[in-house]
Structure 1
Amino acid sequence: MVQATDSPKVIQMRRVPTTSDAITELSFQLPDPEDEKLPEVEFQQQVEQAWQVCDRVNLQTDIWRGRILRTVRDREKWYGDGRGTGFLNWLKDREISKSQAYGLIELANSADTLLASGYLEPEDVNQFSKRAFVETAKSDPEVQQIVSDAARRGDRITRREVRQLSDEWTAMTSDLLPAEIKEKAAEQTIPTRYLAPLVREMQKLPEVHQTPIREAVSENPDVDTLKQVTAEARYLAKYLEAANNVQALNNESLNLELALEEALRIGSLSATADLVSHAAQLEQIVTKLFLTWKRLNALSERLYVDSGASTPHLPHPPELSRQPG
């Protein structure tokens, strides 16, 4: 077992289990799937117990893998070539993708955050699934405390439970929701899973657009209204973000707010938001094409200067001197 001391740069080593040790520890007596006398409930309990043990072992292993990867990456930052080549080669030698590596590093960071905050003890980690652990680390401190208390009691923590607690906390503490809808959530007549997405979308909007959404929910505090205004808030946020990124719309003759009002009036906010979003993407593609062409032209010029007349098969391509389009 490997244990970190208070200093994150110092690691105390104890006896590391060998491969045979691990196999022995994970030796299960699994139920016979063809046993007709075995009740389904008992079968599911035995399988679930085995699965949870595997989950705990995988979580502990992946946390330490993430810490190892983070150490290798940080070493490269200090003494590498500045491009992370050494770290990438280290991953390649072990057949680990970059996304997998940073996923494990995120897991290790989550573990260190929760342990350093004092919410969890090292042994409490065993109560979490891997995804629940990461989800807890991303949650508000109050949610982390609630989840950690449950883990200390020995409760099994899944990602679904963490998300539910996080949604409940968001719904009951957000100032963006009117009192009417909070009361219904407290009475459990409206599930909190409908409130948290609305809050997240409203947080992206300026106050001038939050007010009419709040008023609509206050007038009709029901699930259908929540679904509708959540979709509108999502498309509204998408429209506002994309409109700011489209250079062609930076025109005094265009009034984006009036255009937005007209789209809302005729019920075409979704199509309008998609239109503006695709326009922003198109401008980004055009910019990327132009920069790529400039780079290609510069390389062509460099090749021509380096080669000269001694390499007739490496001429300067005249078509590269023309701008695209």
Structure 2
Amino acid sequence: MPESPQPPFDLASALNIGTDLHFQLPDPEDDRIPDSEFQQQVDIAWLVCDRFDLQTEIWRGRILRVVRDREKKGGDGRGTGFLNWLKEREINKSQAYSLIELANSADTLLAEGKLDPTAIRNFSKRAFVETAKSSPEIQQLVTDAAQKGDRITRREVRQLAEEWTAMTSDLLPDEVKAKAADQTLPPRYLAPLVKELEKLPESHITLLQEEVAQEPSVDKLKQVTSDARNLAKYLHAAAQVQAINQSSVDVEMALEEALRIGCLNTASDLVKQASQLEQTIAKLYTTWKRVGSLADRLYVDTGASTPNLRSLLTCLERLAGESIEVPLDENGDRTVRLRIFADSD
């Protein structure tokens, strides 16, 4: 005989979901309460809400998942029933799938034995979401801390991730790892460096590794991280600039020279601006062609009976012709003039 489904009130009882949250919050006007005690009472209430919110969101995700899966089995194949269900409850599709993802992550962590169900209460909602998106190694570190009773916020997740990166990344020299291990280099400065180094070719990585290995200090880490970021921007932008691609300039040598004389940031910004200028010119040309085409079409459709439309066309001639004039200020004291020499179509 199949087991009958639980009534809603029994289910709520089994899940131990409270139907009401009530706190005795401190009176903000009561000067007799010390600031430290006031803050402690508020923090406790906030943490309870945060925990309740996380557990509620996980269950919402599970509910949405079963509704979606039911629709897949017996619906029209297009998910119309599920979308209507969401619409009735004023939930957008993006929000629904975000909650389903949260529920999937929670169930995965629980199923793999990485997390005890009671330890979920030690997470803030954002920390749990960030943990679910992390690598398995970071998940293990975070859930171990949660199961020991540690309060897990996004700050703790990031700190553990940074410490893991500092001790395991092959991109960091041994000298840097040693200082991270003995706490003389804070791990929070290492993760950004690894992130930027991952974007670079091997030749540039080696150069920066040697530099930071010679002087493993916080200031040097900051400088090398900035250099790595600018290197990545330079290489990415240079590959997009047609003026560079159509020439014989040695981009790599120019980059090394910029590094040697300490003007990498300027060179990187120049190449980036050049890339944006080329893209702007290309967009200007296509827009100019469109304006001219529309003006020609409107001219054919107008005549003596539409003097105002003809006046409109006359006003826009300085934008639709080969010579373009645009005032740079309201008074028209400064004007930029461009002339387009386009290849014949």
Per the normalisation by structure 2, the TM-score is 0.69
| Structure number, greater radius of gyration | 2
Aligned equivalent of 2:208: 213
Do structure 1's residue 118 and structure 2's residue 113 form an aligned pair? yes
1:45-194 pair list within 5 angstroms: 45-65=40-60, 79=78, 94=90, 104=99, 107-108=102-103, 110-194=105-189
Q: Secondary structure at the match of 1:79?
A: coil
- What amino acid maps onto 2:182 in structure 1? E
- Tell me how far apart the structure 1 counterparts of residues 106 and 88 of structure 2 sit (CA, whole Å): 25
- What amino acid maps onto 2:78 in structure 1? Y
- Tell me how far apart the structure 2 counterparts of residues 27 and 154 of structure 1 sit (CA, whole Å): 24
- Tell me how far apart the structure 2 counterparts of residues 267 and 161 of structure 1 sit (CA, whole Å): 37
Contact 1:140-1:166 at 8 Å conserved across structures = no
- Tell me how far apart the structure 1 counterparts of residues 284 and 89 of structure 2 sit (CA, whole Å): 34
Q: 1:111 to 1:23 in 2, by over 3 A?
A: closer
Contact 2:68-2:79 at 8 Å conserved across structures = no
Q: Which runs of 5+ in 2 are unaligned?
A: 325-339, 341-345
CA deviation profile, 1:6-38 (whole Å, cap 9, x unmatched): xxxxx9984476xxx988521111122333443
Q: 1:178 to 1:80 in 2, by over 3 A?
A: same
Deviation, 1:113, is 4.5
Deviation, 1:112, is 4.6
Q: Mean alpha-carbon deviation: is it higher for 220-229 or for 37-46?
A: 37-46
- What amino acid maps onto 1:114 in structure 2? L
1:31 aligned to 12, 18, 26, which one? 26
RMSD: 4.5
Q: Mean alpha-carbon deviation: is it higher for 61-70 or for 137-146?
A: 61-70
Deviation, 1:39, is 4.0
Deviation, 1:68, is 6.3
Aligned equivalent of 2:235: 240
Aligned length: 299
Q: Secondary structure at the match of 2:239?
A: helix
Q: Which runs of 5+ in 1 are unaligned?
A: 1-10
Deviation, 1:207, is 0.8
Contact 2:162-2:190 at 8 Å conserved across structures = yes
Q: Mean alpha-carbon deviation: is it higher for 270-279 or for 48-57?
A: 270-279
Q: 1:233 to 1:77 in 2, by over 3 A?
A: farther
Deviation, 1:251, is 2.1
Aligned equivalent of 2:330: none
Q: 1:127 to 1:283 in 2, by over 3 A?
A: farther
- Tell me how far apart the structure 2 counterparts of residues 287 and 281 of structure 1 sit (CA, whole Å): 10
Contact 2:167-2:177 at 8 Å conserved across structures = yes
Deviation, 1:197, is 1.0
1:193-272 pair list within 5 angstroms: 193-272=188-267
- What amino acid maps onto 1:176 in structure 2? L
How many percent of aligned residue pairs carry the same amino acid? Answer: 58
Deviation, 1:213, is 0.9
